[in-house]
Structure 1
Amino acid sequence: MSDDNFIEKDTSATDAADEQNRQQRHKLRQQKLQQQVQQGIDKATAEKGLLLVITGNGKGKSTSGFGTVARAVGHGLTAAVVQFIKGSWECGERNLLAQHQVEFAVMATGFTWDTQDKAADIAAAEKVWQRAEQMLADPAIDLVLLDELTYMVSYHYIELERIVCALQNRPAAQHVVITGRSCHRTLVEMADTVSEVQVVKHAFDAGIKAQRGLDW
């Protein structure tokens, strides 16, 4: 047998040993991670109705909120949705979820730059917020999505104190999801979970129009 054959066998044995060591190190890391995760799970024993805020300038806030509604409905929970600002558009989520007994209260005035009528917008916001207050007081509703609510605060259409009061006095087990840009710091501080969606790029900026089934 030549020296080359001995070298090849020795290299193969070294490679196998190195691979075994890598696998062992990986296993130890994953075991440590598993232990840390389990410790977190063991500590998380409390149950309560959660307030989630999904804010930021990026696309996907309402999509995330509706995804949470769909998840709740999939688990047999009762959900309701209040839509501000974009309610004049056809809504694919509403088309689907309404078939699963999800109640929608829709402001239905569309974007404020289209209505150009502040008084009418405030009246519409007040009407739909009254229904939202009823939902937030109803223990039979497990989850309420307040889609684009943040604008109602920013534009001073609905008093922040009324929103805070309704959230604080809702049934203890009821979950609420708030979406929209520039969420007021009071709501952020109240929330149990806050996610900020940031824009990296958007097709609209490249001249591509909003498309049915993807954007609305």
Structure 2
Amino acid sequence: MIDDPDRHASKMAKKKAARDKIMATKTGEKGLVIVHTGKGKGKSSAAFGMIFRCIAHDMKCAVVQYIKGGMDCGERDLITARFADICEFHTMGEGFTWETQDRTRDIEMAQAAWEKSKELIRDPANRMVLLDEINIALRYDYLDVTEVVAFLRDEKPDTTHVVLTGRNAKDELIDLADLVTEMELVKHPFRSGIKAQKGVEF
């Protein structure tokens, strides 16, 4: 800790000069492939935060939900009620795999969600497309990861950001992505008998 204000100011000036030098080299822009994965909470929450940023900047965007189905979802309720003109929202899943217990149906729904996803990503008007819980569909091989990676690599418009969430992201997807964040589970109230709560989990 530096108590001398002059020493502190000098140190911060040096840090700022070094930072400005680094920032001057960062001039590129591109549509990113962003993956949120890991066992920790917050993957979809962080992704919806980016969707709301797009909405705040008046940037057209879209969401496809792969797994959550008819569950309550505060983000969906808010977007469809107030921002449907700028953000399309498609809930294509029918619930978690242990609830549906019908692999054939789950595959059909995932394939339909992927077709809708491709349509939305191909539309250059959409600056960001969130594929919520697609990693779950890929994990269970409801979708072919090779096809998904090839599409994102070869057909995604240059300025479109695509965000993919869910645990156990496939290595092929991580290799392709520009930004990957793994949410680490340190502590969770579920382990102490606390159920999912409105405003925190949904």
TM bucket, shorter chain: over 0.9
CA contact (8 A) 2:93 2:110 kept: no
- CA-based RMSD of the aligned residues comes to 1.3
Task: Say whether residues 1:132 and 2:117 are aligned partners.
Answer: yes
Q: 2:169 aligns with which of 183, 188, 196?
A: 183
Deviations 1:107-149 (A, max 9, x none): 2310100111100100111111110111111101110001111
The count of corresponding residues between Structure 1 and Structure 2 is 197
Q: CA deviation at 1:165?
A: 2.3
Match in the other structure for 1:53? 35
Match in the other structure for 2:201? 215
Under a length normalisation based on structure 2, what TM-score does the superposition of the two structures give? 0.93
Aligned partner letter, 1:155: Y
Aligned-residue identity in percent:
41
Unaligned runs of 5+ in 2: none
Q: How far apart, CA to CA, are the structure 1 residues paired with 2:41 and 2:96?
A: 16
Unaligned runs of 5+ in 1: 1-17
Task: Say whether residues 1:144 and 2:129 are aligned partners.
Answer: yes
Q: CA deviation at 1:166?
A: 2.1
Q: How far apart, CA to CA, are the structure 2 residues paired with 1:163 and 1:64?
A: 22
Match in the other structure for 1:195? 181
CA contact (8 A) 2:39 2:185 kept: yes
CA contact (8 A) 2:79 2:89 kept: no
CA contact (8 A) 2:59 2:127 kept: yes
Match in the other structure for 1:40? 22
Q: Which structure shows the bigger proportion of residues in helix conformation?
A: 1
Q: 1:171 aligns with which of 157, 169, 184?
A: 157
Q: 1:87 aligns with which of 66, 69, 92?
A: 69
Aligned partner letter, 2:140: Y
Deviations 1:31-61 (A, max 9, x none): 1211122122211101110111111110000
CA contact (8 A) 1:137 1:166 kept: no
CA contact (8 A) 1:49 1:174 kept: yes
Match in the other structure for 2:50? 68
> Structure 1 runs of 4+ off > 2 angstroms?
none
Q: How far apart, CA to CA, are the structure 1 residues paired with 2:77 and 2:130?
A: 16
* Mean CA deviation greater in 54-63 or 31-40: 31-40
Q: Greater CA radius of gyration, 1 or 2?
A: 1
Q: How far apart, CA to CA, are the structure 2 residues paired with 1:199 and 1:134?
A: 34
Q: CA deviation at 1:88?
A: 2.1
CA contact (8 A) 1:105 1:132 kept: no
